[in-house]
Structure 1
Amino acid sequence: MTTRNARIGLVLFAVYLLLYGGFVLMNTFAPQTMEATPVAGINLAILYGFGLIIAALVMALL
């Protein structure tokens, strides 16, 4: 049971690391993309950030 939980934890960590890494890389190398306002005048950086928070909450419930 412990190794199963550890494996699941590592997978969830890797998923979140990829999501967060994408956020950091987009802000670093494509800031003009993150300035785009796709929904109601809210820029993509804010939407992506809220998405990261929601993803963390969802993964915490798994």
Structure 2
Amino acid sequence: MDHGPAVEYHEETALSEYKTKIGLRFFAIYGAAFVGFVLINTFAPQLMKVKVLLGLNLAVSYGFGLIILAIIMGLAYNAICTRKEEEYETLAKQTEIKGKGVGK
């Protein structure tokens, strides 16, 4: 017995595509940073011992950097997508008002 969802959810295809595009770009940026970390560990592990920041070695500094980058990118993604969703909502309301003949 399939009851389906209790609430119909419909997201604009263009909005969904925009969010996907932004997400994939952020994923590529983070992926490149992570690949750099892996490559250093694979081919030059001795570099990870070098003190680079506040007495911390490269391994710890790079690791914290990856964590901070992920948090910043998550916040940026949320802000960008929220702004775009608000634009779509505003446009939808304007279109709805024009369609009803309000203000004529």
TM band (smaller chain): over 0.9
Aligned length: 62
Instruction: Please name the residue that 1:17 is paired with.
Output: 31
| Partner residue of 1:55 out of 54, 57, 69 | 69
Q: Which structure is higher in strand share?
A: 2
* 1:14-36 residue CA offsets vs partner (Å, 9 max, x unmatched): 00000000001101101111110
Q: Which has the higher contact order (CA 8 A, sep 6+)?
A: 1
| TM, length-normalised to structure 2 | 0.57
- CA separation in 2, counterparts of 1:13 and 1:39? 26
| Partner residue of 1:8 out of 22, 30, 40 | 22
Larger radius of gyration: 2
- CA separation in 2, counterparts of 1:39 and 1:54? 15
Percent identical: 50
| TM, length-normalised to structure 1 | 0.93
Q: Gapped runs of 5+ residues in structure 1? A: none
The Cα RMSD (Å) is: 0.9
Q: Does the Cα contact within 8 Å between 2:49 and 2:58 map onto a contact in 1?
A: yes
Instruction: Please name the residue that 1:35 is paired with.
Output: 49
Q: Which structure is higher in helix share?
A: 1
| Partner residue of 2:40 out of 17, 21, 26 | 26
Deviating above 3 A after TM superposition, structure 1's stretches of 4 or more consecutive aligned residues are none
